[in-house]
Chains A and B, each alone.
Chain A
């Protein structure tokens, strides 16, 4: 079976033009990354800020072209630098952004936001479009009365639901989620993650999930890729990466994650009180 998304040796360089006092230089944002995601699977891309995660997301979503390397979607090679995208290919990959406050057009009603992809890409009657948008609105856990409202009337979690609904309007095969829950608070994070899981099983969606939050990744991912300064330093199944990290950066990353289970908190408090009593003991003497 051909994977929905396959990337072979993707690189992306940014050329920084020089000025009178500086030489021009080239920044290698992504250095030869390869991966593939099968249908209905989730690939999580993890790494610190500035490691090339979002650049990779833009390449996969066909917003920016890759400098070199092959991007295959459903086995078909895509190169937006040389040929324009067809509506068919474009609708196969959609994106959900990190910031739900910037990703919805503040001047458009929710209904207009949802039907816009259909107006552009599909020949459909207006009432048919509206019915599709209504159905999608309900799928993501919103109500029909929200159809005529503006984005500023919604909370962050609701907006992210709208953003997910918009991405799904074209029935994509692949959804790129660029830190979709990191701007939301914890309880809402869980709701949105559950929604994403439900939608994945319902539509057989393939996710590329970009995150820096390891607990979220452990919850949702099938495969994990760890990026560090534009390189994929670790790539494997979730269990393999979490249980037996090979690269030193991955281990550092896992060690840096705050542990919030009861045992860890008790141990930390015990260490703290021990240190405190140790420090105050000489004074008592």
Chain B
């Protein structure tokens, strides 16, 4: 009997999470693709057949391997200055994931802190913060990012700062709404009666209960950041050449769109597949983390 009771005990949080997550096939596929991209990014020097900036002057605009005139060692062809596109894409995944990670970290930390303060204290602090956020949201996000980069100067780091600033109001609003809903609940009052101070209430009692929508929003912001960084790169305001960033690669290949389709197509496909995978994963995360969708 004792073995039975130990087995019927509460399954670990991770097992429960995986149970709900794995029911969403799209999310599992998204996770697999994301893990693949992550693997490629981490082991780029081992995976990539050539260096990202290595030029072969005699092999300009070489078509992909399966086309006439293609070479097996340049699987996806070469670009206008003779660099292997596959290697550049592989190294470029490092930049994309790095951008996503930095942007999400920056905007989540600042957004959650500001939203927590606004939702917890309400009153004038709340009004002040939310009007500023409304102003940021009123700008078209790419335009605002463009203006910020123009002010700070072009470059990957400034682009990331600009994108996090543009993304952050979403986290502020989401956190504020969740905090306001949680704050009036009895368990928060109960904690207060037990003597919990402001910080304990904010960070230990209320915040953990607001995390589910934030995690979902964070994954979506991750893909939005990759897209925005690519757009900024395409406009010449993000990563500067010869950095193998996907958006910058697109911008460089613009003039060859008629002659050599592969130079434009593959960076675009890489962006599409990564963003799609992360969005699918975010969907699955919402299913797994939202208690309202659980049948417990």
| A residues lining the B interface (CB < 8 Å) | 61-63, 85, 87, 90-91, 93-95, 97-99, 102-107, 116-117, 120-121, 145, 148-150, 152-153, 163, 166, 169-170
Q: How far is the CB of A163 from chain B (nearest CB, A)?
A: 8
CB-CB nearest in chain B for A148? B10
Q: Once the chains bind, are B191 and A105 in contact (CB under 8 Å)? A: yes
B194 within 8 A of A: yes
CB-CB nearest in chain B for A106? B209
Contacts of B72 in A (CB 8 A): none
CB-CB nearest in chain A for B194? A117
Mark contacts of B205-240 with chain A using CB atoms, 8 A cut-off: 1 yes-contact digit, 0 otherwise: 100110000000000000000000000000000000
B291 within 8 A of A: yes
Contacts of B193 in A (CB 8 A): 61-63, 90, 93-95
Q: Once the chains bind, are A103 and B186 in contact (CB under 8 Å)? A: yes
Q: Once the chains bind, are B194 and A120 in contact (CB under 8 Å)? A: yes
Contacts of A163 in B (CB 8 A): 190
> A149-B10, A150-B10 are known contacts. Are A102 and B195 too (CB-CB below 8 A)?
no
B23 within 8 A of A: no
Complex Cα spacing A97 to B185, Å: 10
> A149-B10, A152-B296 are known contacts. Are A97 and B190 too (CB-CB below 8 A)?
yes
Complex Cα spacing A253 to B296, Å: 40
Q: Once the chains bind, are A102 and B10 in contact (CB under 8 Å)? A: no
Q: Once the chains bind, are B10 and A105 in contact (CB under 8 Å)? A: no
Q: Once the chains bind, are A105 and B194 in contact (CB under 8 Å)? A: no
Q: Quick one: which of B185, B192, B205 contacts A102, CB cutoff 8 A? A: B185
Contacts of B25 in A (CB 8 A): none
Contacts of A170 in B (CB 8 A): 194
Q: Once the chains bind, are A121 and B195 in contact (CB under 8 Å)? A: yes
Contacts of A153 in B (CB 8 A): 10, 296
Q: Once the chains bind, are B10 and A106 in contact (CB under 8 Å)? A: no
| New contact pairs (8) apart from A102-B185, A105-B205, A166-B190, CB-CB < 8 Å | A61-B193, A90-B195, A95-B193, A102-B186, A116-B191, A120-B195, A145-B5, A163-B190
CB-CB nearest in chain A for B196? A120
CB-CB nearest in chain B for A170? B194
Q: Which of A61, A97, A105, A150 has the most CB of B within 10 A?
A: A105
> A63-B189, A116-B191, A148-B10 are known contacts. Are A107 and B196 too (CB-CB below 8 A)?
no
Q: Which of B186, B189, B196 has the most CB of A within 10 A?
A: B186
Q: Once the chains bind, are A106 and B291 in contact (CB under 8 Å)? A: yes
Q: Once the chains bind, are B192 and A63 in contact (CB under 8 Å)? A: yes
Complex Cα spacing A98 to B186, Å: 9
Of the A-B pairs whose beta carbons lie under 8 Å apart in the complex, a sample of 10, sorted by A's number, is: A61-B193, A95-B190, A99-B186, A102-B187, A103-B187, A105-B205, A105-B209, A145-B9, A152-B296, A153-B296
